[in-house]
């Protein structure tokens, strides 16, 4: 990881607060809009993000991130309005603050049970997932990307870079100051544009 424990912890909570504000004013028609996440509406994206954090803060970690767990997270929230989803997002952000205060440096760097990585990497993944899905929602609604803080983009690049290294990709991950940094994250997550990187195009980490 390129960011410190405090940067990642604070970044996740700030991202959840921003996600709450993103979804709170959405109409039902906007929630029902298709997204670039295959088979998911804007509402489904929001339900997944909030459901994942609700599972983490409640200690429901078995199968987290699997298709089955993700489908459950979405289904459990299928009848909620944007305001209700935003209220839950606020609640899980508050719960995340309490949970993150439990970790010291030793536990932060310890293996995270069934997750393939440390607790710190797991928290970094939650931040990255919230940030990227926020961009999915803006894209679906025809809004421009909002990169947020430089640290948020650094978090996404670190997560994608680690995933690519496990797939024997030999290219170079751009820095957060590179104008193509966001395009790189989108390409590496199967959201298009890989051809712009030529022979050093990143692999789709979800393929």
Secondary structure of 13-67 in the HEC alphabet? HHHHHHHHHHHCCCCHHHHCCECCCCCCEHHHHHHHHHHHHHHHHCCCCCCCCCH
Tokens 């912890």 belong to 9
- CA-based nearest residue to 165, from 192, 113, 202, 123: 202
Q: Note the CATH architecture for domain 5-145.
A: Up-down Bundle (1.20)
Q: What confidence tier does 115 reach under pLDDT thresholds 50, 70, 90?
A: confident
Which of 3-12, 61-70, 132-141 is least confident? Answer: 61-70
Residue 2 in this model has a pLDDT that exceeds 80: no
Looking at residue 147, its pLDDT comes to 82
Rounded Cα distance between 88 and 84, Å, is 6
Looking at residue 117, its pLDDT comes to 84
Q: What is the average per-residue pLDDT within 91-115?
A: 90
Q: What is the average per-residue pLDDT within 3-25?
A: 96
Map out the domains of the chain as residue ranges. Answer: 5-145, 147-207
Residue 1 in this model has a pLDDT that exceeds 60: no
How many CB atoms within 10 Å of residue 167? 12
Q: What confidence tier does 132 reach under pLDDT thresholds 50, 70, 90?
A: very high
How many CB atoms within 10 Å of residue 174? 19
Looking at residue 87, its pLDDT comes to 98
Q: pTM score, two decimals?
A: 0.95
Residue 124, SS3 per DSSP: helix
Rounded Cα distance between 44 and 34, Å, is 9
Cβ neighbors of 126 (< 8 A, separation 6 or more) are 12, 52, 53, 56
Q: Are 53 and 16 in contact (CB under 8 A)?
A: yes
């Amino acid at each position: 990881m390129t960011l410190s424990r405090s940067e990642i912890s604070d970044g996740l909570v700030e991202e959840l607060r921003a996600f709450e504000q993103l979804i709170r004013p959405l109409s039902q028609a906007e929630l029902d809009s298709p997204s670039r996440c295959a088979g998911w509406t804007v509402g489904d994206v929001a339900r997944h993000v909030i459901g994942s954090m609700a599972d983490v803060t409640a200690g429901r970690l078995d199968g987290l991130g699997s298709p089955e767990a993700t489908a459950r997270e979405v289904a459990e929230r299928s009848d909620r309005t944007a305001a209700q989803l935003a209220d839950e997002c606020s609640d899980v952000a508050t719960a995340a603050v309490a949970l993150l205060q439990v970790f010291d440096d030793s536990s932060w760097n310890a293996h995270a049970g069934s997750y393939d990585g440390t607790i710190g990497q797991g928290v970094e993944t939650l931040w990255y997932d919230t940030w990227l899905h926020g961009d999915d929602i803006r894209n679906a609604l025809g809004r421009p990307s909002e990169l947020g803080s430089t640290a948020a983009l650094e978090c996404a690049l670190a997560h994608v870079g680690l995933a690519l290294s496990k797939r024997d990709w030999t290219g170079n991950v751009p820095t957060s100051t590179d104008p193509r940094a966001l395009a790189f994250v989108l390409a590496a997550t199967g959201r298009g544009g890989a051809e712009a990187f030529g022979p050093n195009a990143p692999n789709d980490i979800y393929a």
